[in-house]
A and B are shown apart, each in its own frame.
Chain A
Amino acid sequence: MDSIMLWKDQYELGVPLIDAQHKELFRRVGSFLQVLRSEDAWEEKIPKLDDTLEFMKRYVVEHFRAEEDYQQKIDYPGYEFHKQIHDGMVQYVQEVSQQYEQSDHNEDLMQQFGGRLLAWLINHVAAEDQRIAEYAKRKGLSGNEG
């Protein structure tokens, strides 16, 4: 199966650090979805899905922190609201991950997680994060503050 490309250039914010992290996030979520939706037996998919889930738990927190630092640096007025969205997603990833472990790798749980993650990530980067870039542009800040 060809690898899927979730990333679109229109998602770029013009902040090099954040854009690089977004691309990595999209790449990993793309690989995750590809394994999740493949024709392979569920048991064969579990190790790869576990790896990605572990990566996501670490990387999502790291990326959100970097994005929040950038927002504070440029005095982004939507910082508190944006942080609430991030905190909600971190909590969701942790809860699903815990339920998944407790259920001994329940497939239904992971399929539901995958669908929600896909839509959430695209909306978050294509809509919510773009507001940060628009603010920075309006204030005449260059993308290098990230």
Chain B
Amino acid sequence: MKDKLYNAFVEATRNVFNLMLNITDISHRQAEDFQCDDEVDIAIGIVGDLDGEVVFRFPVSTSLNMVRIMSGMEFEEVDLFVTSAISEIANIISGNVLTALSDSEMQCNLLPPVQCEIENHKKYDLETSSCLGTAIGEICLEIRLNRP
């Protein structure tokens, strides 16, 4: 299940970046060595057959590049507009994952995206992370879920 989720999130991110940002070249690796001091963390809660959250960790430069590509405008800092736009992208990616997985036995729903701070002290049944490298910067995904 862990691998299935991991692959589904990597694939969904790849598709969304391709369709929305015209970015086709995306590499991925385990995220233990993801280091970033100025990131925006967006959590999407998951409820249903699995319970927990997926946290999208967008470095500031990646966030600004994403919004610049979508809007054709320059952004110098992460403000409410930028946070809202990348939250929606996190929401779209997560929605696509759930749609892809709903063909199998799993039924889950998403909670609205919220900006968060990463907490590492909790333990989860399913825990995995991935670091995606793109032409506009890295993104880290932290998947943390329990089976209720």
Contact = CB atoms under 8 A, between A and B. Distances in A.
Interface of A: 4-6, 33-34, 36-37, 108, 111-116, 118-120, 122-123, 126-127, 130
Given A5-B72, A118-B70, A123-B20, A36 B81 contact: yes
A127 B19 contact: yes
Contacts of A108: 80
Nearest to B75: A37
B20 A112 contact: no
Which of A4, A5, A126 has the most CB atoms of chain B within a 10 A radius of its CB? A126
B62 interface: no
Contacts of A123: 16, 19-20, 88-89, 92
Given A115-B80, A115-B85, 17 more contacts: A4-B73, A5-B72, A6-B70, A33-B71, A36-B81, A37-B73, A108-B80, A115-B82, A115-B86, A115-B88, A118-B70, A118-B71, A119-B84, A119-B88, A120-B92, A123-B88, A127-B20
A113 B84 CA distance: 7
B94 interface: no
Contacts of A36: 81
The 5 closest A-B pairs by CB, nearest first: A115-B84, A115-B85, A119-B88, A115-B81, A111-B80
A33 B72 CA distance: 10
Interface string B90-107: 001000000000000000
Interface of B: 15-16, 19-20, 67, 70-73, 79-89, 92
A116 B71 CA distance: 12
SS class of chain B's interface: helix, strand, loop or mixed?
Answer: helix
A116 B19 contact: no
A87 to B, nearest CB: 15
B88 A120 contact: yes
A116 B88 contact: yes
B73 A111 contact: no
Contacts of B67: 115, 118
Contacts of B15: 127
Contact of A119 (B72, B79, B85): B85
B83 A126 contact: no
**A6, A33, A115, A130: which has the most chain B beta carbons within 10 Å?**
A115
A111 B79 contact: yes
Contact of A126 (B19, B86, B88): B19
